[in-house]
Structure 1
Amino acid sequence: MSAIGSGSFGTVFKVKHRLDDKIYAVKRVQFGDISEETKQIVLKEANSLSKLDSDFVVKYEDSYLESNYLYIQMEFYSQSLRTVLKDKAIVFERQPEDQMNVFEYFISCEIFKELLECVEYLHESDPPVIHRNLKPENILIDLNFTSNRCVKLCDFGLATDHNTHRQIVSPFVHSVCGTFGYIAPEVLMGKEYDHKSDIYSLSIIGEELFGIDLQDWKLIEAKKLLFKKCIQSIYGTLLDMMSTPFWRQRPECREVLAKHNEWSIDKTVV
């Protein structure tokens, strides 16, 4: 058993099952060191994972209590989007200041498309689920394409249901949480928010994935890009997804996906 990282409130280990010889990821949380409120959050994560039985999220296997520890067993993936972001320029032999070639841009589009589909699944569940901690480390990459897709979401320790009716009839406000740099401004300021806070996080991830500086439109205009119209489209799309302070105007994942042919490039071009 070896530690491979940390998630919300616990450490994640890579383990080998003694009976089936399969490799799993197991999140371990020490109950003796956390408050009752945090215990409920951790138990909620296990409960949420057990209900989200889909190819869009990491597969829940089991959870159990042992010696004052809670263990949450999940399918194992060795790579996260953080690894991809770190390595893809090296793989495509691109210097940081250089533009992506057509192959790297196509792969970036496919990853972003699958990521949007994953979050769309959460937001259109009944009731809708807000992940609240979307970041490259919580986006896993299935290199074997076991379900004909490569992107899955993990770490639902901060996820919460969003009952739209309850939001309307009461002053219910979700708590402030997430990872700095990916948190929507309305969340950071402790204001009322909904699933559109995840859309903001996706825009920051998209900025990293496509190597775009959303603060510099003139740079996009000045560059002699191989697929300029696509870059301009994804730039505008990410800006809409980041929309602040009018966060309710951010597009839904399905609306961004509907324009996939505008910001992506056709497979036949690659």
Structure 2
Amino acid sequence: MGNQFTQQSSLSSLIENQDLMAAVKLLQNGANPNELNQKGKSCLRLALEQGNSQIYRILHQISGEIIPPLVNETPLHHAVRHNHTKLVRMFLRNPTAFPNYKNAKNSEGQTSLHIAAMLGYSEIVALLLKYNAQADSKDKYGKTPRDLAIESDSPQLNEILELLGSEELIVRTPNPGKEVKESPHMRRISSKSTHFSSQIDSENNLLALEVALKDSLIPLIPSEEVKFCEIINRGSSCVVYKGMWRGTDIAIKQFKIEYSTSAKELEKFIKEMQILSKIRHPNLILLMGVCIDQPNLCLLSELVQNCSLFQAIHKSQKPLTIENRFKIAIQITQGLVYLHSNNPPIIHRDLKPENCLLDESFNIKIADFGLARPLTRFIGEEIQTTVCIGTTRFMAPELFDKSKSKSIGVGVDIWALGCIFIEVFSGKRPWSHISTADVNCIYYELFNKKPIPIPTCIPEPVRKIISKCCDYFPLNRPTASNILHELISIKSQFM
């Protein structure tokens, strides 16, 4: 080809070949960063496409331009879309050197966090959240990053949901978007449409539900009396709506269609319904009734208007005071005292800040009893592992070991309570030194009986309680009643 390239063309070829040192020397000798290569691209554009953070920064500092310019998105959007983690980190770490792109929206109303969540880039999601990207931002279709993550087929889905404030295992159903968009209270039973009884595998399943309702004395609420409003949460098995029933604000937990059609899933619905029907306590969510005359079964409960404890700790603009932290810890423990004082004791099995609802006066309601069981029934069940029976960061070591199934009891809730205290009093997740991407490493720590790290910023008396709660031998852990007495006695030291 001969010596037909200009100095700037040589610069672009060096950048394309990622020869940083040679490119820098040319720039020092006066090469023009804004001349184009043979394809009409500037050097800054090439650096962006390659994800080359070093040369991008140098070119940006000497007024390099992106030619051709990006269409309807920022350089951060582009870097996220192409999974250029180093470039993303550079943009976020240097707010004075680069424009503040983190909450900027593209033509679809999507932030960079929307893109990362949708594409399953958990490391980038973590980076964006670390630098305070808005997790609740909505695109032009009203969808948050969490919504897009759930709709995706990403193998990193659960890690991303944990980062966005939910550590639940998500089981996607066919066409998930359709179920969300549809107004479930408008679906009517008719001979021409799919209806509840035709979707039950056998009449025995329907009979089992009717018997359970009768035995539990749970109000059966016609769906025509219930108004569905906006979605307030999604989980592995359900969508939670804000709703209205007879002039009262309620929460509607609408289960996926499998809970109507599968005997196994229906049994889970019945168990949660039976647990909720037996409990009455100021710090536990109140069941108001059930709807079974629609394709999707629904539990109706009281509505807690404010937020989850997780959101109050990690998302609120106002930090919790030490008084609020003690109030929250005491109330969660009070709810646990009540559950464990039943005969037989009721084990929650999925205690975590996401399942503790908080009103504006810092009153706690423990919710999500999908894994809760009376102790006698739990012992007879097949013991599973990992996220199938809880959330890894809050799971007691015996839950990972089938050989220790006989030792599983109220102690699993006490371990989780200690983990919650870590988060309440320090603002850090339990096992916070282990990233979400490596969350399975927690099992390795538990297997080797490593003490759970307790941040030194937590008051010493509370640290001692946590240490006792997270003892590797379940019988050594204190009862909820003992923990409650200790919390009340030490609270006065900090008020």
Q: Same fold (TM over 0.5)?
A: yes
CA displacement at 1:260 relative to structure 2: 2.1
Secondary structure of 1:13's counterpart equals strand
Q: Which runs of 4+ in 1 moved over 3 A?
A: 31-35, 212-217
Contact 1:8 1:155 in 2 (8 A): no
Aligned to 1:254: 481
Bigger Rg over Cα: 2
- 2:240 partner SS: strand
Distance, in Å, in 1 between the alignment partners of 2:282 and 2:484 is 18
Structure-1 residue corresponding to 2:321: 104
> Tell me, what secondary structure is at the counterpart of 2:280?
coil
Q: In the alignment, which residue of structure 2 is the partner of 1:55?
A: 282
Unaligned 5+ residue runs, structure 1?
A: 93-102, 224-229
Q: CA deviation at 1:261?
A: 4.5
Residue number among 277, 281, 303 corresponding to 1:76 in the alignment: 303
* Letter aligned with residue 125 of structure 1: N
Tell me which protein shows more strand as a share of its residues.
1
State the Cα deviation string for residues 102-130 of structure 1 (Å, max 9, x = none): x8112101110111000111001122100
Q: Deviations over 1:53-91 (max 9, x none)?
A: 222211111102133211100001131111111145x41
Q: Number of aligned pairs?
A: 236
Does residue 1:161 correspond to 2:374, yes or no? Answer: yes
SS in 1 for 2:418: helix
Equivalence for 2:397: 185
Q: Pick closer, same or farther for the CA change 1:261–1:127 going to 2, 3 Å.
A: closer
Distance of 2:465 and 2:314 partners within structure 1? 24
Pairing 1:118–2:335 present: yes
Query: What is the alpha-carbon distance in structure 2 between the residues aligned to residue 116 and residue 2 of structure 1?
Result: 31
8 Å contact from structure 1 (residues 127, 162) kept in 2: yes
Cα displacement string for residues 178-224 of structure 1 (whole angstroms, at most 9, x for unaligned residues): 1121111101223321011001111111101110787567x73xx7x
Offset, 1:174: 5.8
Maintained 8 Å contact 2:232/2:240: yes
State the TM-score, normalized to the length of structure 2. 0.44
Say if 1:7 and 1:155, in contact at 8 Å, map to a contact too: no
Amino acid corresponding to residue 197 of structure 1 in structure 2: V
Q: Which moved more, 1:113-122 or 1:155-164?
A: 155-164
Larger relative contact order, structure 1 or 2 (CA cutoff 8 Å, min sep 6):
1
Which amino acid in structure 1 is aligned with residue 238 of structure 2?
A: G
Instruction: Specify the alignment match of 2:244 in structure 1.
Output: 16
| 1:196 to 2:408 alignment | no
Native 8 Å contact 1:32 1:68 kept in 2 = no
Equivalent position SS for 2:459: helix
**Structure 1 or 2: larger helix share?**
2
What SS does the corresponding residue of 2:492 show, helix, strand or coil? coil
Contact 2:337 2:480 in 1 (8 A): yes
Q: Which moved more, 1:6-15 or 1:41-50?
A: 6-15
Distance apart, 1:264 and its partner CA? 2.0
Pairwise CA distance, 1:44: 1.3
Task: Name the Cα RMSD after superposition.
Answer: 2.6
Shift of 1:132: 0.6
Q: How far did 1:32 drift?
A: 3.7
- Which of 272, 288, 291 is residue 64 of structure 1 equivalent to? 291
CA distance in 1, matches of 2:411, 2:453: 24
1:126 counterpart SS class? coil
2:393 and 2:416 map into 1 onto residues whose CA distance is 8
Residue type at the aligned position of 1:23: D
Percent of aligned positions with the same letter in both sequences?
Answer: 24
Matches within 5 A, 1:206-225: 206-211=421-426, 220=456
Give the stretch that moved more between structures: 246-255 or 4-13. Answer: 4-13
Tell me: CA distance 1:215–1:181, structure 2 relative to 1, closer, same or farther (3 Å).
Answer: closer
- Give, in whole Å, the separation in 2 of the partners of 1:31 and 1:175: 25
**Aligned letter for 1:123?**
H
